[in-house]
Amino acid sequence: MSVTAAKGFTAAGIAAGIKENGNPDLALVVNTGPRRAAAGVFTSNRVKAAPVQWSEQVMKSGQVSAVVLNSGGANACTGPKGFQDTHATAEKVAEVLGRGAIEVAVCSTGLIGLLLPMDKLLPGVETAAAQLSEHGGEKAAIAIKTTDTVHKTSVVTKDGWTVGGMAKGAGMLAPGLATMLVVLTTDADLENEALDKALRAATRTTFDRVDSDGCMSTNDTVLLLASGSAGVTPEYEEFAEAVRQVCDDLGQQLIRDAEGASKDIKVEVINAATEDDAVEVGRSIARNNLLKCAIHGEDPNWGRVLSAIGTTSAAFEPDRLNVAINGVWVCKNGGVGEDRDQVDMRYREVHIVADLAAGSETATIWTNDLTADYVHENSAYSS
Amino acid sequence: MSVTAAKGFTAAGIAAGIKENGNPDLALVVNTGPRRAAAGVFTSNRVKAAPVQWSEQVMKSGQVSAVVLNSGGANACTGPKGFQDTHATAEKVAEVLGRGAIEVAVCSTGLIGLLLPMDKLLPGVETAAAQLSEHGGEKAAIAIKTTDTVHKTSVVTKDGWTVGGMAKGAGMLAPGLATMLVVLTTDADLENEALDKALRAATRTTFDRVDSDGCMSTNDTVLLLASGSAGVTPEYEEFAEAVRQVCDDLGQQLIRDAEGASKDIKVEVINAATEDDAVEVGRSIARNNLLKCAIHGEDPNWGRVLSAIGTTSAAFEPDRLNVAINGVWVCKNGGVGEDRDQVDMRYREVHIVADLAAGSETATIWTNDLTADYVHENSAYSS
């Protein structure tokens, strides 16, 4: 279902030959209207790929008719030629759809520093356009995979309207981290302003809190397109919640498919003085390599949680900190708590609760363990 | 030679039985005077081990007669009992030496959250005191090892005076990161103020710029003791340079022995607008797990360098960035530079130069690659 679950959208996914292994590598998502509203959030990395620079301009144009996405190359750090290639891709999509290029968002993912094979990409756009279908969402989701082992889609259907989406990647964005691309679609009839508000609210507590390896991508993009074709304008709160649910579901799928991971780690920070404190502490814990290794070894090493908390500027007293791992309060009042041998870590999901005892705010960050497979996957070849 | 290279110091290293495997685990360094000046820098982690809390007080007392160090347990997150144990350890050293406890600094390293076996540690102090010798520096350096594969010592001898030292650990301090302990000694005749100034200046550009895995310890301590026994008061600049050389040498030894590492990576940031910018960028590159994996795989993946630079707030223009790896400028003006196949990465040391083209300041951060061995070492058992 994916991006074509909502009415007013067609999609396609094909193998254009960008990837040397012949796997699908080009996706096209088209908003057939009647409305062509859109919102987008992009990587906060200051080194932005050409397609991000282009798509940020597209967002300012006010309407988005199509998104073209390629895997097999990030088109980042490719200079003026890279930007020209992105522009030419948008022009090609515009030409085959009979729309303006400034209404065509472009997303790319893959290795940084390589120019895209335009002699394959541009004909690929024509092939994809010829295969556009209301049932093409699945194929589009497959075509944007890089090191993803599975494609990721999600759909929430409400009373007469739908939010659907697809995602690729394995990591985090601020929106900023990891080579993550997401396209969401809805047939609800909403203007850009509401879409933007709902998308920013949703990403703030979902994708923004998925932190696989602390590394920030040059290409991260999350787009939300609205066709209005359901002819329904939902209440904002209900719509925002549906967008949040789809983002949350896709974010969870990203974590579960993170490179080399054997554990999904839910870091829940409670009783923080502020939400910012909770996020800062959660992120510090989630990025601690020593802790991530310990979790991989099924070692409830709460000392590494405390040392990660200690590096933050959050409000807390060291001797009031409490830490639970999978329900066992292994650290109480900054020292030894319940018997760590009670902690059962056999399962894939690990739940760490860090109690700052400094207020009533909370935040949850999702991460993975650090494994030899992660090292292998990121050292054995360029990505 | 180590801490006993300078005159006016004795040391010992013994197996007190703190470590279950019977390896040496207790070191004692004594300043026999005539002067007992000292300076110290400590972890910036807000979760501080009991010995750090104690030794910070000792520093305020104005003179340090001895340092007692144990491996086999960090005595961190151990509550009031942990602090009492540190105090009791200092009292015991004071008793056997006939000095005041407030002149005895204490350092501990090992697993967080475990109380030390005082029934072994206190008798161990007596044993160590009985073995104090002007040739004991080597044994002391051996007794503070944890996962270190070799002990680390360094000596600089100048005209009539000497700076020596020992270190354990594998990582970074701010002073803050990694379970790192360092004791430096000198027989130069200097007061606390000069020692403090020289030590802070030295750590700022040496240990502070060694970042193995981005993880900040609860126990990091660097102490500098001066006996005055050479009867020479060197020029401050000359003394500071000698301290810097010893710190630099020990820092390099820490990096070369970092857990699981197969590559030592020198990250040199040049042409930064400010030194702070250079350090921020260097640290961001040094902590990028994806880059560290790539270096492990001998892949000159400059895209990961650029994406790490892009996460900082340093002054730079993305299209003016240049990156060299082992002398080959693989990235020029933010894009593809010289042929990456020219980069020879067969050797252990890897040199990354990041040119921000934004000024004239520079900084060098040392780190390691990220390896399956690091994951194994930090997941297979608690540490």
Q: Identify the residue with better confidence: A197 or A259.
A: A197
Q: What is the pLDDT of residues B258-307, one digit of tens each?
A: 878 899 999 999 999 999 999 999 999 998 888 999 999 999 999 889 98
- Quick check: A175 and A203 in contact, CB under 8 A? yes
Does pLDDT of A263 surpass 50?
yes
Tell me the three state secondary structure of residue A369. Answer: coil
Give pLDDT, residue B333.
93
A54-63, B158-167, B329-338, B373-382: the lowest-pLDDT one? B373-382
Does pLDDT of B219 surpass 90?
no
Q: Domains in chain B, ordered, with CATH?
A: 2-256 (3.60.70.12), 264-379 (3.10.20.340)
Give pLDDT, residue A112.
85
A88 and B CB contact within 8 Å: no
Give pLDDT, residue A178.
52
User: How many alpha carbons lie under 13 Å from residue B222 in its C-beta half-sphere?
Assistant: 32
Does pLDDT of B172 surpass 60?
no
Q: What is the pLDDT of residues B354-371, one digit of tens each?
A: 999 999 999 998 888 988
Average pLDDT over all residues of chain A: 91
Give pLDDT, residue A381.
61
Does pLDDT of B162 surpass 80?
yes
Does pLDDT of B178 surpass 60?
no
- Between A and B, how many residue pairs show a Cβ–Cβ distance under 8 A? 210
Q: What percent of chain A has pLDDT over 90?
A: 70
Q: Which helix (H) or strand (E) holds A133?
A: none
- In the stretch 270-329 of chain B, residues with CB closer than 8 A to chain A read 287-290, 293-297, 299, 301-304, 306-312, 316, 318-319, 321
Backbone angles phi, psi at B10, to 5 degrees: -125, 160
Q: What is the pLDDT of residues A190-222, one digit of tens each?
A: 999 999 999 999 988 888 888 777 777 788 888
**Could you say which DSSP state residue B319 is in?**
G
- Quick check: B258 and B292 in contact, CB under 8 A? no
Closest residue in A to B314 (Cα) is A46
Cα-to-chain-centroid distance, residue A136: 21
Cα-to-chain-centroid distance, residue A223: 10
Instruction: Give A253's contacts (C-beta < 8 A, 6+ positions apart).
Output: A150, A152, A154, A167
Give pLDDT, residue B171.
54
Q: Do residue B297 and residue A45 have CB atoms under 8 angstroms apart?
A: no
A378 and B CB contact within 8 Å: yes
Does pLDDT of A177 surpass 70?
no
Q: Do residue A288 and residue B215 have CB atoms under 8 angstroms apart?
A: yes
Q: Which helix (H) or strand (E) holds A69?
A: strand A66-70
Mean pLDDT (whole number) for A24-42: 94
Instruction: Give B354's contacts (C-beta < 8 A, 6+ positions apart).
Output: B267, B268, B269, B270, B281, B282, B285, B305, B309, B321, B322, B323
Q: Is A20 exposed, middle or buried (0-12, 13-18, 19+ CB in 10 A)?
A: exposed
Which among B179, B180, B184 is positioned nearest to B223, based on CA atoms?
B184
Q: What percent of chain B has pLDDT over 70?
A: 97
B144: closest CA of chain A, how far (Å)? 20
Give pLDDT, residue B176.
45
Does pLDDT of B222 surpass 90?
no
- Quick check: A333 and A309 in contact, CB under 8 A? no
- In the stretch 37-56 of chain B, residues with CB closer than 8 A to chain A read 44-48
Mean pLDDT (whole number) for B185-197: 94
Average pLDDT over all residues of chain B: 91
Give pLDDT, residue A232.
94
Give pLDDT, residue A176.
45
Closest residue in A to B337 (Cα) is A113
Q: What is the 3-state secondary structure (H, E, C) of A138-185?
A: HHHHHHCCCCCCCCEEEEEECCCCEEEEEEECCCCCCCCECCCEEEEE
Cα-to-chain-centroid distance, residue A221: 8
Distance CA A266, CA A276 (A): 17
- Ramachandran area for residue B334 (φ above 0: left; ψ -120 to 50: alpha; else beta): left
Q: Identify the residue with better confidence: B332 or A174.
A: B332
> Active-site residue A43, yes or no?
no
